[in-house]
Amino acid sequence: MVQKKVISLTKPIIEEAITNLYCNKFPTSLCIADLGCSSGPNTLFAVLEVVTTLDRVGKKMGRQLPEIQVFLNDLPGNDFNTIFKSLPRFQKDLEKRMGAGAESCFINGAPGSFYGRLFPSKSLHFIHSSYSLQWLSQIPQGLESNKGNIYMANSSPPCVLKAYYEQFQTDFSMFLRCRSEELLEGGSMVLTFLGRRSEDPSTKECCYIWELLAVALNDMVAEGLIEEEKMDSFNIPQYTPSPAEVKCEVEKEGSFTISRLEVSEVNWNAYHGEFCPSDAHKDGGYNVAKLMRAVAEPLLVSHFGDGMIEEVFSRYQKIVADRMSREKTEFINVTVSMTKRG
């Protein structure tokens, strides 16, 4: 639900990028890629928004919709089978919005890390990615002194913050280099990171959600349910950049012109202030714990084993619900729209 809200928030930016594509010499076929697509209900929502925006903008400009080839990318372990099984429903949704034009859309899977090459040179027109690029290619080196924390925090020493930032620089510059090879001149990218407004990488804006998980884990260490050594060697491979940090890497790499760089926010509880489909969803702690469990469970299981998962998230849900009742809790999004230089 949070991811869906974020994609909806970026619709005007996607629309602007696609309008600019139409204004350039427009091809009879168009290749787009959604990077870090995952396999949940939002996977095809992003594609639906991009394709129907193409259709809407084209009609407005009196252009015929080109054939559209869509590549869904994620790591090879992603559940592509589930995505492909949901394609008939996606096709129906597309037909409802576009009519006969829906037949011109072809979906493909493209497994692999986006921190390497994925597509042939100069083969893509448009790239979209939402809530994926904050994930690093690996846990940064040199985090031994980050004891008691599982991410950057106020109590993390400066060397930990530096290690995280340097890993982000390495990864994002590699991402930009690969995409500059794959995009045609004049092609566009719209990327949304989980990020922060502040220039302080340990600010609550981006670290608080993980700090609360660390509270649950540390409580279990104190009770002898988790080994302290295990806790001290666990770190989250994520970096939530500021707009200035994103801009700096794009300018350093040099292949792209930034047309929009914007910050938005969405409440931790996606149903905040809205109709809830069930009583369970009215519990903000439940919603956030469920969202974070989808993200963090594979990391926790591979490090601690699966015997402690239920207990961790039961505790985490209570901690989160308590904090949400007393504080304003928001995810910060950084969205950048850029065009490949000629």
pLDDT in tens, 318-327: 999 888 888 7
| 310, burial (CB in 10 Å: exposed 0-12, middle 13-18, buried 19+) | exposed
Residue from 117, 122, 118, 120 nearest 109 by CA: 118
Residue 283 pLDDT class (50, 70, 90 cuts):
low
Which H or E run includes 183? Answer: strand 183-195
Distance between CA atoms of 341 and 181, rounded to whole angstroms?
A: 11
Residue 275's pLDDT band (boundaries 50, 70, 90)?
very low
Give me the pLDDT at residue 340, please.
95
Q: What is the mean pLDDT of residues 97-116?
A: 90
pLDDT at residue 236 above 60? yes
pTM of the model: 0.90
CA 233/CA 67 separation, integer angstroms: 49
For the chain, the average pLDDT equals 88
Average pLDDT over residues 22-35: 83
With bands split at pLDDT 50, 70 and 90, how would you rate the model's confidence at 25? Answer: low
Point out the least confidently predicted range of 166-180, 224-238, 290-304.
Answer: 290-304
Q: In angstroms, rounded to a whole number, what is the distance separating the alpha carbons of residues 71 and 110? A: 6
